[in-house]
Amino acid sequence: MSGIFSKGAWLKVWTYRSTFGFGLLNTLETALAGVLLAMMIGIILGLMAASEKKILKGISRVYVELIQNTPLLLQICFLYYALAFSGNSLGIIATGMISLGIYHGAYMAEVIRAGIEAIPKGQSEAAASQGFGYIGRMYYVILPQSIKIILPPMVNQVVNLVKNTSCLYIIGGADLISLTYSFVTGATTGGAYAPAYLVSGALFFIICFPLSKLASVWENNLKKRDKKVNVAGNKERKVA
């Protein structure tokens, strides 16, 4: 652990603080675009998976299985090299945004499907009998109830997405981890391993920890409330 207490190494990190700032900005930018894309894909495919039509279900299933069972790193490389060798490269950051969106879109779709399927079918049938169309049923009846089931795992996915921006390293990215690595191995800046890794780890922790804590607290509260409802229900049944 040499270097963690060395003043020179810390000074070096402080001098090049703009590198870390730039990396953090890139990571956040990529993550934000990735989250938006993942949400869009997730909502569309999640609704498709929860629908009645077999063909829509099938498409969504195939997408989710294909994406969830192959590594993100492979998908990023695939997209990047396929674009690069066919002569229309998008640039590293844009490639990262797209592949992060595609990858986590599959997970979001599963989360949304599970949330919708947790609502009893009777709700949807009751709404239909009241004359609601598909959109009205989803918007006024199903989604408001499933949103509290959907949100905690969705926040967990956002945490994973932020962590996965580090995958940009393999295509020569400019995210926080890649810049930290080129900082510690650079010819003029090299050597300050411990402080640099500590700083970039701390930055990730500051972003991810509150989010994952929020998700777990949220989920626990939900479970507790469900338990209470169940207990109350059982009691009523016993009295009756």
Partner 1 sequence: MDTLEASFSILKNSSIWIYILKGTAFTLVISIMGIVIGVLLGSVLALVRNYCNTPKTIIFRWIATIYIEIFRNTPHLLWIFICLVFCPCPEIFSQKMLGLTSVETKLLFKAGVALVLVTSAAVAEIIRGGLNAIPEGQFEAGHSQGFHSVQIMIYIVLPQAFKKVIPTLLSQVITTIKDSSYIANVATIELMARVKKILSSANMYNGTGTINVSDVFVLFGLAAAIYFIINFSISCVVRGMQKQNKQADRAVLENINMEC
> Where along the sequence are the contacts to partner 1 (CB under 8 A)?
1, 65-66, 68-74, 77-78, 81-82, 85-86, 159, 163-167, 169-170, 177, 180-181, 184, 193-194, 197, 200-201, 204-205, 208-209, 212, 234, 237-238
| DSSP labels, 126-191 | HHHHTT--HHHIIIIIIHHHHHHHHHHHHHHHHHHHHHHGGGGGGGT--SHHHHHHHHHHSTTTTT
CB of 84 to partner 1, least distance (A): 8
Distance (Å, whole) CA 212 – CA 18: 27
b/e per residue 45-72 (b: at least 16 CB within 10 A)? bbbbbbbeeeebeeebeebbeebeeeeb
- Rank residues 71 and 133 by Cβ distance to partner 1 and give the closer one: 71
Distance (Å, whole) CA 176 – CA 29: 11
Distance (Å, whole) CA 140 – CA 123: 11
- Rank residues 144 and 201 by Cβ distance to partner 1 and give the closer one: 201
CB of 216 to partner 1, least distance (A): 9
Q: Which two tokens stand for residue 71?
A: 């590594």
CA distances from 199 to 9, 31, 114 (A): 12, 19, 38
CB of 209 to partner 1, least distance (A): 5
The single-letter DSSP state of residue 125 is H
CB of 213 to partner 1, least distance (A): 8
Q: Which DSSP helix (H) or strand (E) runs through 67?
A: helix 54-68
- Rank residues 8 and 71 by Cβ distance to partner 1 and give the closer one: 71
- Rank residues 50 and 64 by Cβ distance to partner 1 and give the closer one: 64
- Rank residues 86 and 188 by Cβ distance to partner 1 and give the closer one: 86
CB of 201 to partner 1, least distance (A): 5
CB of 135 to partner 1, least distance (A): 31
- Rank residues 53 and 238 by Cβ distance to partner 1 and give the closer one: 238
